[in-house]
Structure 1
Amino acid sequence: MLGKIVNYIIEKNVVKINFENGSTYVKIINDEIINFFIPNVSEERNSKAIDKLNYKETKFSVRFIGQLLTISTKSLVVKIYAGFNIDIYDKDGNALCEDYRLERDPFIRRKGDYELAESEGHDLSKKNKDTIYIAKKMEDDMHFYGLGEKTGHLDKKYYHYKNWNTDNPNPHGETFEQLYKSIPFFVNFRKDKSFGIFFDNTFETNFDFGKENSNYYYFSAAGGNTDYYFIYGPSVKNVIEGYTYLTGTTPLPQLWTLGYQQCRWSYSPELRVWEVAEEFRKRDIPCDTIYLDIDYMDEYRVFTWDNNKFPHPEKTIRELKEEGFKVVTIIDPGVKVDNNYSIYKEGIENNYFAKDKNGQVYENVVWPGKAVYPNFLSSDVQKWWSSNQKILTDSGVSGIWNDMNEPASFNGPLPDDIEFNEDDKVVYHKEAHNVYGQLMCKATYKGIKDATKKRPFVVTRACYAGIQKYSTCWTGDNQSTWEHLRMAVPMLMNMGISGVAFCGTDVGGFGFDCSKELLSRWVQVGAFTPLFRNHSSMGTRDQEPWAFDKMTEDINRKYIKLRYSLLPYLYDCMKICEDTGIPVMKPLILNYEADKATYEINDEFLFGDNILVSPVLEQGKDKKMVYLPNGDKWIDFWDNKEYDGGQYIIKEAPIDICPIFVKASSVIPSYEVQNYVGEKVIDTLKLNIYLSNDDNNFEYTHYVDDGKSFAYKYGEYSKYRIVVKGRDEVVIDVNKIVDGYCDKYEYIEIIINKDCTNIICDGENVKFKKVRDKVHFTVALKANQKIVIK
């Protein structure tokens, strides 16, 4: 289509290539990230995922011989041919990503009478709908990860997916092509040759990883520009770091948001909220957050309260806070059509709502009945929506839960030609749809930040790439089925790979009835997911921790308390995530690429770098086959037995045991368990030190700040470095390497898996005790101290 290359022009970091029938642009972001752009419909590149492209000073060369234009950086060689065909190699000439030049050729599919038939997701008429289609050669040893919230396995090879944010109430199975979120980013993994592709296009996009034909994989779009980023690794971690360099990392959340959260459709009226809150405290089960679903509102009018159900919301929320509970309220985008309703009136008067092709305010039906949709593409509407958050935060609300923001509608989908005004530019729904929820969250985040001066807590169902900057995500309306528990693990791992580190799934399942066994196993997964929320639907049986029997309640208490003990470790992981983009909950391959056995493990994951979780995900099972990755030794969390990596073991797993293993030669900080974050002054930092039987030489950095404000951005934080060396005689050095925050630590309690005869701290003997296979002792905390264990 573009024809032959005519010439090229270099403008700073951009190579403009002029073809016979148009121009293309190659932007060198840095040595490992290159952007390819064809202005199919416009020269404008108004990304909703990338706030600002940060270029690094990069030396590159360009050669043009015959019909081959070659761009070389320190890490990559990009060969561009006639028609803008592109092949990319590493610096040693190894092929990484090559365009597929042959015709599109779907596998033959036949009907019963042997006539050829198309299959779902592979209707060749889509070639007419998709204005952009880019195919790449596929090799047998390629694996594909990412795309955010998609059903199926961790490795997306041989799957096809569509990005079109969709509220589908049917039980989501492995064959579902689209759900609530659209994150058009994937990682192509081959040993030592990983790269990612981020297709920054908000129209409906399709990704096929060999389902149509195993000779190629492709991505396509129903409109917009050709605008994609090639992100070189060579490791998967490097790719994720590159992607989050573009789209942003997950900011450090408030500490309480990492605690246990309880939700239901609906805790209403006020009396029911208090019943739930009191049960948590009475039963000694920690909980930080209670959610209010749509029934707290006055006939579903957003930013209002039903004064019959909640006659004194400010008083209620204040009294709940005194008991340690933070309240999070749901907000939907649909604004009720009601001339006596201030939000609707303001929106109409200021032209804040989306319109149909005739210029009339578009109406559909959602929970309030007839409703209109704020035009979140407008900067004025975003400011207005941001300011409305103060209505709820002034009532004491601690966070906002954005739902139904695909946007969902009951009276058929919004037509493609619904108009949104992006600051005097008309954008049709077919382009705005996938970023609608994203922009709602962006406005919500800013509104909470302005109103409270604290780190905002926003939860969303729908989003686009880059959502991690504004909101945490949950995986939508799942079901209380074992299939959905199994599917949650790879789904959340792929969310983390796709930049969304603060994510979770409805523990116990939202729809259908949960069972006591299912809840027991699900809470064992939830305790290790960044967002830890139990949620269920109206009309289903209760599934709070005590809703079944004493054994189930005890199991919930056990794992919720384990979560609270691990909060300092999780907070450290979240800080690493903010700094690097590397997620907390991650597939084994991220840390063990050299181990082929990790490439397609769906049923276990790493929680940070030092904890491996292999939950039981099948009904009736009391044993689990666990793979321990090669390259490290692993210590059973429950019995302290050490195992070599690179092997499968069978772990006994009765209903109250989730197989958990700690990497040998590691440190796990922990706290005393609290009913809620902030209940107690934490004056003792517990350091759980897991020695290997071999010679030890490792370190850990522990981070601490006020857990709520942005003061850490200005240096108000502290860091402790713990260095451990030796085998027969172990030396532990604890040093405060950053002293920008006045933390409350007065003591260090060390729990170590080692027999000993003597412990010396700064020249003084220390008393210790042995509990099972571990030694426990406590010393006063100093800025620098040396502990010797003999």
Structure 2
Amino acid sequence: PPLFEQLQPKRCSLSWISCGFQVLEPEGASLLPRQLPCSVTTGLLVIGCLLLLLCGGWLLGTMFWLHGPSSQQPHRPPPPACGRTPEAWRFDCYPERTVVVTRELCEARNCCFIPAAAPPASKKRHQNGIPWCFYPADFPSYSLASLDKTLLGQKGSLVKEVKTYYPGDILTVEVETRYETDSRLHVRITDPSSSRFEVPIPVPAATKKAENPDYAVEFSKQPFGLIVTRRSTGTVILNTTVAPLFYADQFLQFSTSLPSPFIYGLGEHRSTFLHDVQWNTLTMWARDVPPMEETNLYGVHPFYLSMEEGGTAHGFFLLNSNAMDVALQPAPALTWRTIGGILDFYVFVGPDPGSVIQQYLEVIGNPAMPIYWALGYHLCRWGYNTSNSTWEVVKSLRNSGIPQVAFGGLNVWNAARHGPGPARSRPPEGSYWPFDEGLKRGVFIKDAEGKTLIGKVWPGLTAYPDFSDEVTHEWWYDNLRRFHDKVPFDGLWIDMNEPSNFLDGSTNGCPENSIEHPPYTPGVLGDLLRAKTVCATAQQKLSLHYNVHSLYGLMEAQASASALKRIVAKRPFVISRSTFPSQGMYSGHWLGDNRSQWKDLYTSIAGILTFNLLGIPLVGADICGFSEEPQEELCVRWTQLGAFYPFTRNHNAIDMQPQDPTAFSPLARTAMKQALLLRYSLFPVLYTLFHHAHLHGHTVARPLMFEFPKDVQTYAIDKQFLWGKSLLVTPVVDPGVDQVVGYFPESLWYDFYTGDSVRSKGEKLQLAAPLDKINLHLREGSVIATQTPNLTLWVSSGQPLHLLSALSDDGSAGGDLFWDDGESIDTYESEQYAYIVFNVAQKVMTSQVLHNHTEATFIPVASASFYGVKEKPSQVLVNSQDATFNYSDNQVLTVADLGLKLSENFTISWS
């Protein structure tokens, strides 16, 4: 049975071997296959058949008792003895990292204990990741005591007779399933006897039950479990019967099987794009720490995307902000462990990966449309020291013809001294308006005794604004407005907002209680919730910091975006280090304090792909690395890759050598300049992709598997990526090479620069990659608009367009262009935009203006190229008038000097 295969891939079987038969034990059993003599074969077979009939009758009766005649009982394997539980299906009963697990400790929890042959080393609890202490099949869990229909689904009562080992065990909880849309299931497990913390982000409220859901939900009564299957294929996408459910005051846990080992998301961690399911635990609790493996980092995103057989996909989102562990194991299976809140989760059934992300963003919110200039090349460093030194860098870039974000009359020295951050320095009272006014309004986080909590950040003793309080939002606006009156800034970079603290807790320490030291502490760096942040017992308007810690960056971004709208009356540009689901509505993100190492260059690709899955497409890494001395070759290759980050910024640390393009040799400088000019020429493409992200929840930087979900070879690729569906980027991520190997899914591809075609059946190809080149290919069937680049985006945005069509074998292609003034708020919503669709079919290109606006009237269409025109035309017509053209041997047709208006429909045809 399909579900049985999910739970126990290696089943027991009876098979004829010569005259006798062989008994195969389950995987992981200690018994070896044994052959039985022919003389007992007949008797054993008869007995076996009788037993099967009896067991079958008992099973059918049990199914009828549990579910009645109209329900399907989920298939579960019989409870095996401890030794017969396959290793991959052993769910950890003793996940505490700092404890040496012994038989006595394990069996005190009524769990199975099978240690490695050698005694465990200090603090070690696994042998090759396999838990030594794991749950037996009959471990006490909840039973489904009742189940009633509701307007949106069902609501039931779960009861448990025996308390387990974590204190505050809740014996009665409620489960509610809501069939919110045909592709979205919402499940809540709550404690009806008390009010527990719930994450306050706005989520859509369904008003009626989905009429024809693409999923089916089954309930297991004893032990309780949910089984969610895809109706079209029968694939089990959620099965919580595989391990017991826990619901205690400070410990909530449930597990599920996974239909495959292909799982993505679960940010923020430094890892490959495809997560490792070989006993891999990912901890979530916002933390200020340079990106490193096996560590909780700046953001918290309890969402995963899982691929299924045949290319379908589903997603899962746990709406919970408390510290948590997500444990992956090779069954494949996954366990959620969190220390507060409720179990509030969504299942999205796609069916393709792009649809899963759209459905997820329908819950958390689509990303904001960025202001146009924010997509340019940003140059930044910690340690310019003076405004004069900064101006020298700006002039050097301009003299070298290197594009950049426009730099006006900002008083840099003043900004460096007084710029706002996530925390407020605490000088002597009476000397600093933001601190004094903050005290007066009561905007700062309080300690357990109700006094202003003081930590330490830059440049010293620090008070922390409580952004969960609307009063703080108004104080924040007042500070920014006063600062803007002196230094007219355009955007905000909010840093250190995990929140960071150079102390553990505060200058006065933290109380010693179960909030600071919960019964179970997830695997946070430092083993304490307060490690390099404020006390978990700190008081905020919304709740204890214990509950809202990982929301700090989100709440500051909300306050910052709101204030900027009021101050500059344009789209707010905010870049935040700490993030949480729905952050894309308010800010972008950079991947933190990386290093000038090749590995950091490579892992940045996984970072930008993951954050596009998480609804924050405006994302990038510090080009050339933040810390350590930059290498010229590394910086060239990183600039080429960074030119295709959705957010492009070169940033390095104090006392490091400069790493802007002008700091290197003429050859390196030219290579970087070419890469950045290439980015600027592609801005019509990038801007349109952000429009679709804002409007439809699409990704901007996109994994190959999103466009080729049936090609399993694409599932682990994180050295290449796509812009949208059309542009394939193949960067160099290794030193000392002039070639790169890229995977080309089955399609017809064209070299972006030359139009040379590459027809692939789904294969790896070796590409020339000299130091001055990043490989870029255009997928068949696409039309994109490029633009003559200039030193700033505002100048570039008015340059003539060049249309580039990559024809399929049948000569077809299509694309679109979104255009507006680049800065006004809600231009789509207020219909202040232009939208043009391009199509090519039967040797005719048509441009159709679906929505017009004055912005489009300023942009001419100067030329068009068509890749893959199989025969040289004898005539080209533009709006039925003869036009001059060029046709090259590699089947590229180019028509120049068009003089067309983007705001008017036109045709280009050939024969």
Which residue of the partner structure matches residue 315 of structure 2? 196
Which residue of the partner structure matches residue 47 of structure 1? 199
Larger C-alpha radius of gyration, 1 or 2? 2
What is the CA–CA distance in structure 2 between the aligned matches of 1:660 and 1:724, rounded to whole Å? 22
Which residue of the partner structure matches residue 309 of structure 1? none
What is the CA–CA distance in structure 2 between the aligned matches of 1:776 and 1:700, rounded to whole Å? 18
Answer whether contact 1:623 1:654 (CA < 8 A) is retained: yes
Match of 1:167 among 288, 292, 297: 288
1:265-320 superposed Cα distances (whole Å, 9 cap, x missing partner): 033311012111111211111101569999946896554xxxxxxxxxxxxxxxxx
What is the CA–CA distance in structure 1 between the aligned matches of 2:197 and 2:874, rounded to whole Å? 67
Stretches of structure 1 that go unaligned for 5 or more consecutive residues are: 61-72, 106-125, 304-330
What is the CA–CA distance in structure 2 between the aligned matches of 1:564 and 1:177, rounded to whole Å? 36
Which residue of the partner structure matches residue 287 of structure 1? 404
Which residue of the partner structure matches residue 186 of structure 1? 304
The amino acid that maps onto 1:688 is: L
Q: CA deviation at 1:676?
A: 0.6
Answer whether contact 1:480 1:509 (CA < 8 A) is retained: yes
Which residue of the partner structure matches residue 134 of structure 2? none
Which residue of the partner structure matches residue 99 of structure 1? 239
1:739 correspondence with 2:830: no
1:26 correspondence with 2:177: yes
Which residue of the partner structure matches residue 359 of structure 1? 450
Give the RMSD, CA atoms, in angstroms. 2.6
1:560-597 superposed Cα distances (whole Å, 9 cap, x missing partner): 00000000010011111112212111110011001111
Answer whether contact 2:455 2:534 (CA < 8 A) is retained: no
The amino acid that maps onto 2:236 is: L
What is the CA–CA distance in structure 2 between the aligned matches of 1:293 and 1:37, rounded to whole Å? 50
1:725-760 superposed Cα distances (whole Å, 9 cap, x missing partner): 13xxx2111121211344212334212334433211
Which residue of the partner structure matches residue 638 of structure 1? 753
Task: Provide TM-score, normalisation by structure 2.
Answer: 0.75
What is the CA–CA distance in structure 2 between the aligned matches of 1:530 and 1:292, rounded to whole Å? 26
The amino acid that maps onto 1:238 is: S
What is the CA–CA distance in structure 1 between the aligned matches of 2:296 and 2:356, rounded to whole Å? 24
Answer whether contact 1:356 1:417 (CA < 8 A) is retained: no
Question: Aligned to 2:753, what secondary structure does the other structure show?
Answer: coil
1:413-472 superposed Cα distances (whole Å, 9 cap, x missing partner): 3354333332xx5x1222111011110011000000111121100001011111100000
Which residue of the partner structure matches residue 332 of structure 1? 422
What is the CA–CA distance in structure 2 between the aligned matches of 1:649 and 1:56, rounded to whole Å? 52
1:476 correspondence with 2:578: no
Q: CA deviation at 1:98?
A: 3.6
Q: CA deviation at 1:670?
A: 0.9
Which residue of the partner structure matches residue 695 of structure 2? 579
What is the CA–CA distance in structure 2 between the aligned matches of 1:523 and 1:575, rounded to whole Å? 25
Alpha-carbon spacing, 1:369–1:297, altered in 2? closer, same or farther (3 Å): farther
What is the CA–CA distance in structure 2 between the aligned matches of 1:257 and 1:355, rounded to whole Å? 36
Alpha-carbon spacing, 1:626–1:419, altered in 2? closer, same or farther (3 Å): same
Deviates more, 1:683-692 or 1:714-723: 683-692
Answer whether contact 2:242 2:255 (CA < 8 A) is retained: no
The amino acid that maps onto 1:335 is: S
What is the CA–CA distance in structure 2 between the aligned matches of 1:295 and 1:766, rounded to whole Å? 52
Match of 2:470 among 374, 379, 382: 379
The amino acid that maps onto 2:384 is: Y
1:223-249 superposed Cα distances (whole Å, 9 cap, x missing partner): 111111111112111110111111111
> Superposed, which structure 2 residues align to 1:443-454 within 5 Å?
443-454=559-570
The amino acid that maps onto 1:47 is: V
Answer whether contact 2:198 2:320 (CA < 8 A) is retained: no
Answer whether contact 1:684 1:747 (CA < 8 A) is retained: yes
Which residue of the partner structure matches residue 5 of structure 1? 144
Which residue of the partner structure matches residue 822 of structure 2? 707
1:189-215 superposed Cα distances (whole Å, 9 cap, x missing partner): 1134421111111111111221xx535
What is the CA–CA distance in structure 1 between the aligned matches of 2:338 and 2:397, rounded to whole Å? 49
What is the CA–CA distance in structure 2 between the aligned matches of 1:301 and 1:703, rounded to whole Å? 38
> Superposed, which structure 2 residues align to 1:663-674 within 5 Å?
663-674=779-790
1:494 correspondence with 2:610: yes
Answer whether contact 1:301 1:335 (CA < 8 A) is retained: no
What is the CA–CA distance in structure 1 between the aligned matches of 2:853 and 2:196, rounded to whole Å? 44
Q: CA deviation at 1:102?
A: 4.8
Q: CA deviation at 1:130?
A: 6.1
Which residue of the partner structure matches residue 657 of structure 1? 773
Query: Identity of paired residues, percent?
Result: 24
Q: CA deviation at 1:19?
A: 3.3
Which residue of the partner structure matches residue 717 of structure 1? 833
Q: CA deviation at 1:622?
A: 1.2
> Superposed, which structure 2 residues align to 1:119-268 within 5 Å?
131-139=251-259, 141-158=260-277, 159-169=280-290, 172-173=291-292, 175-191=293-309, 192-210=311-329, 214-268=331-385
Which residue of the partner structure matches residue 488 of structure 2? 396
Question: Aligned to 1:778, what secondary structure does the other structure show?
Answer: coil
Question: Aligned to 1:495, what secondary structure does the other structure show?
Answer: helix
What is the CA–CA distance in structure 2 between the aligned matches of 1:378 and 1:255, rounded to whole Å? 31
Which residue of the partner structure matches residue 17 of structure 1? 156
Alpha-carbon spacing, 1:414–1:746, altered in 2? closer, same or farther (3 Å): closer
Answer whether contact 1:77 1:89 (CA < 8 A) is retained: yes
Deviates more, 1:282-291 or 1:506-515: 282-291
Alpha-carbon spacing, 1:298–1:467, altered in 2? closer, same or farther (3 Å): closer
Which residue of the partner structure matches residue 225 of structure 2? 85
Answer whether contact 1:15 1:27 (CA < 8 A) is retained: yes
Alpha-carbon spacing, 1:757–1:388, altered in 2? closer, same or farther (3 Å): farther
1:788 correspondence with 2:909: yes
What is the CA–CA distance in structure 2 between the aligned matches of 1:540 and 1:471, rounded to whole Å? 28
What is the CA–CA distance in structure 1 between the aligned matches of 2:548 and 2:797, rounded to whole Å? 47
1:490-539 superposed Cα distances (whole Å, 9 cap, x missing partner): 12111111111110000000000111100111011111110010000001
Question: Aligned to 2:267, what secondary structure does the other structure show?
Answer: coil
Question: Aligned to 2:363, what secondary structure does the other structure show?
Answer: helix
Question: Aligned to 1:712, what secondary structure does the other structure show?
Answer: coil
Which residue of the partner structure matches residue 751 of structure 1? 865
Answer whether contact 2:224 2:241 (CA < 8 A) is retained: no
1:159-188 superposed Cα distances (whole Å, 9 cap, x missing partner): 32111111124xx34x33311111111111
> Superposed, which structure 2 residues align to 1:494-573 within 5 Å?
494-573=610-689
Alpha-carbon spacing, 1:554–1:742, altered in 2? closer, same or farther (3 Å): closer
Q: CA deviation at 1:10?
A: 4.1
Match of 1:777 among 896, 902, 906: 896
Deviates more, 1:344-353 or 1:19-28: 19-28
Alpha-carbon spacing, 1:741–1:87, altered in 2? closer, same or farther (3 Å): farther
Answer whether contact 1:762 1:785 (CA < 8 A) is retained: yes
Answer whether contact 2:863 2:897 (CA < 8 A) is retained: yes
Match of 1:407 among 485, 499, 502: 499
Answer whether contact 1:77 1:93 (CA < 8 A) is retained: no
Question: Aligned to 2:186, what secondary structure does the other structure show?
Answer: strand
Alpha-carbon spacing, 1:680–1:606, altered in 2? closer, same or farther (3 Å): closer
1:388-437 superposed Cα distances (whole Å, 9 cap, x missing partner): 22234443201000000011111223354333332xx5x12221110111
Match of 1:272 among 389, 397, 407: 389
Answer whether contact 2:743 2:763 (CA < 8 A) is retained: yes
What is the CA–CA distance in structure 1 between the aligned matches of 2:266 and 2:444, rounded to whole Å? 31
The amino acid that maps onto 2:533 is: L
